Amino acid sequence: MKTLWHAMAVALLLAVTTSTRATDVSGDQSGTWTLAGSPYYLVGDVRVPPAQKLVIEPGVEVIARGYYKLSVEQGVLEAVGRKDRPIWFTAENTTEGWRGLRLLAADDRSELRYCFVWYAKGTGAYPEVRGGGVYIKDCSPTVRYCDLRYNYSHNANYNGAGGGIATESSSALIAYNYICDNQADSGGGVCCMEYGSPRLVGNIVRENTAFYAGGGMYFGARSSPIVERNAILRNVSAGWGGGGVNSWTSYIYYGTYATLRSNLIAQNRATGGGDAQGGGGIYCRYDRVVLMGNTIADNQAVTGGGIYALNYPAQAPIVQNTIVWGNTATTGPQIYTYSSTGSEIHVTYSDVQGGWPGVGNIDSDPRFTNPASLEYQLLPFSLCIDAGDPAFVAQPGELDLDGQRRVWDGDANGSWLVDLGADEYGSYAYGDLNCDFAIDFGDINPFVLALTNAAGYAAAYPHCDRLNADINADGVVDFGDINPFVRLLTQP
């Protein structure tokens, strides 16, 4: 999970403009903002109007000279930077800040890639306060490989939401971003609310703060987010709690719920100590959250150090193939259920410190590699290896926290079973055909062999598995995997 973080740090050092010009912009804008015209100074609000498109070239700097915003209203924003030449969105006066990026019923082709979005502030009355750095409403763009930092969404009524990024009525893809040091009333890092099923994949969400709920992430009523392979680390929530995640989608009324798969939720804190407050790792409030194959470790709260469940029995959260370990709280260090409503939580095939009733549950030190350095992979001989539900079948393309295959014979006993927790011990990534933990040109010949000669591949690479060549995850290795394999080797 360190790869994106390091890549963005390198990009930060390289992000310098070669232009000696500057361009002032305000009002309706379309066409292309070129590197030659950079930096672009927002001297008023900027809007991409309906049916128009604004392209921002790699390396461009967009600097607000006041509390201005860049909004996209039924138009297209294509801000696609490069790893070595990102696009900057920031404020000249970082104390005053700017209003951030607002995608309002924008065309779904809109994309932010390799962008820095810093020092945006959402203040004032509801609903304008919502969304700090990026606000997405009534559209489903893509935000990936971006750095969202030092953004803010707050007002006196605690209506702020999504310090880094907020979605509303959206099924946006939010993937492989670094979301750090943001603040909001709900969802210090990320907030998903109202309808839609946004996908949050492979993000690093750390050291964000919520004044009300959900230090790392908050999921509000009527939302059904799919949350996969994120590292949610060292976030803090006051108020209702949920240091890492607060899920409050109101399943009992709307039938909506969050699904969390293969996430690391570690070293978060919920500081509230009142009635019905807590959840250092995750707070499930009137919500049937599905927690599948997660690691919830070393979180802190007054009540419910790992998981806090407040619900009615009909909406009990489902926990499976998960590790809940090393969490601390005065009451319910690993899991706490709020008794006044008859709260329940269904836990199976999980490792819960101190034990928990349920089929397949164990109470055994998971043997993490190095928690002090935020490394929660499993060491050899962990009893969490191959200890998951024997009936578990991975979703097509489902991966573990490190982007590797979700089911693997980790203890080499000939039985392929899913591990407990977010990391699959001994697994390899799709495309790693020589099993050297890297996807590069050294995998081309093994891929061809796997494609054309199954027996020959097994003899040449006995410690690997031919299904690593099933790049499109349809269960077979065939010519349909060629183009996805080429994209793996060449993607930016």
pLDDT in tens, 20-66: 589 999 999 999 999 999 999 999 999 999 999 999 999 999 999 99
For 62-116, write each residue's pLDDT tens digit.
999 999 999 999 999 999 999 999 999 999 999 999 999 999 999 999 999 999 9
431 pLDDT more than 60: yes
Q: From residue 4, give the alpha-carbon distance in Å to each of 11, 66, 119, 422.
A: 10, 31, 21, 18
Cβ atoms of 264 and 229 within 8 Å: the answer is no
Encoded tokens for 26: 């305000």
352 forms beta bridges with 324
Query: Quick one: average pLDDT of 204-213?
Result: 98
pLDDT at residue 5, as a whole number: 43
Distance CA 365, CA 352 (A): 9
Distance CA 119, CA 142 (A): 21
Cβ atoms of 401 and 375 within 8 Å: the answer is no
pLDDT at residue 492, as a whole number: 64
pLDDT at residue 86, as a whole number: 98
Distance CA 245, CA 191 (A): 10
6 pLDDT more than 50: no
Residues 6+ apart with CB under 8 A from 410: 378, 385, 386, 419, 424, 425, 426, 427
pLDDT at residue 11, as a whole number: 46
Query: Quick one: average pLDDT of 404-426?
Result: 91
When mean pLDDT is compared across 12-16, 238-242, 289-293, 418-422, the lowest value belongs to 12-16
41 forms beta bridges with 24, 63
Which one-letter amino acid corresponds to residue 217? M
- What is the share, in percent, of the chain residues with pLDDT greater than 70? 96
What is residue 24's DSSP assignment?
A: E
pLDDT at residue 20, as a whole number: 56
Mean pLDDT of the chain: 93
For 150-204, write each residue's pLDDT tens digit.
999 999 999 999 999 999 999 999 999 999 999 999 999 999 999 999 999 999 9
pLDDT at residue 84, as a whole number: 94
CA-closest candidate to residue 171, choices 150, 200, 149: 200
Considering only the C-alpha atoms of the chain, give the largest distance between any 2 of them, rounded to a whole number of Å.
67
131 pLDDT more than 90: yes
Encoded tokens for 221: 């009523």
Encoded tokens for 484: 């996805």
205 pLDDT more than 90: yes
Distance CA 110, CA 448 (A): 36
pLDDT at residue 38, as a whole number: 97
Cβ atoms of 276 and 240 within 8 Å: the answer is yes
Distance CA 34, CA 50 (A): 21
**Range ranked top by mean pLDDT from 126-140, 422-436, 467-481:** 126-140
Cβ atoms of 150 and 116 within 8 Å: the answer is no
CA count, 13 A, side-chain hemisphere, 379: 9
For 337-396, write each residue's pLDDT tens digit.
999 889 999 999 999 999 999 999 999 999 999 999 999 999 999 999 999 999 999 988
Tracing tokens 């999980």 back to the chain, one arrives at 350
487 pLDDT more than 80: yes
pLDDT at residue 343, as a whole number: 93
pLDDT at residue 415, as a whole number: 86
pLDDT at residue 392, as a whole number: 96
For 441-458, write each residue's pLDDT tens digit.
999 999 999 999 999 999
Distance CA 331, CA 276 (A): 12
Distance CA 186, CA 170 (A): 17
15 pLDDT more than 80: no
Distance CA 319, CA 335 (A): 11
pLDDT at residue 317, as a whole number: 96
Residues 6+ apart with CB under 8 A from 483: none
Residues 6+ apart with CB under 8 A from 6: none
Quick one: pLDDT band at residue 18, thresholds 50, 70, 90? Answer: very low
Q: What angle do CA 19, 179, 141 make, to 5 degrees?
A: 75
337 forms beta bridges with 309
pLDDT at residue 458, as a whole number: 93
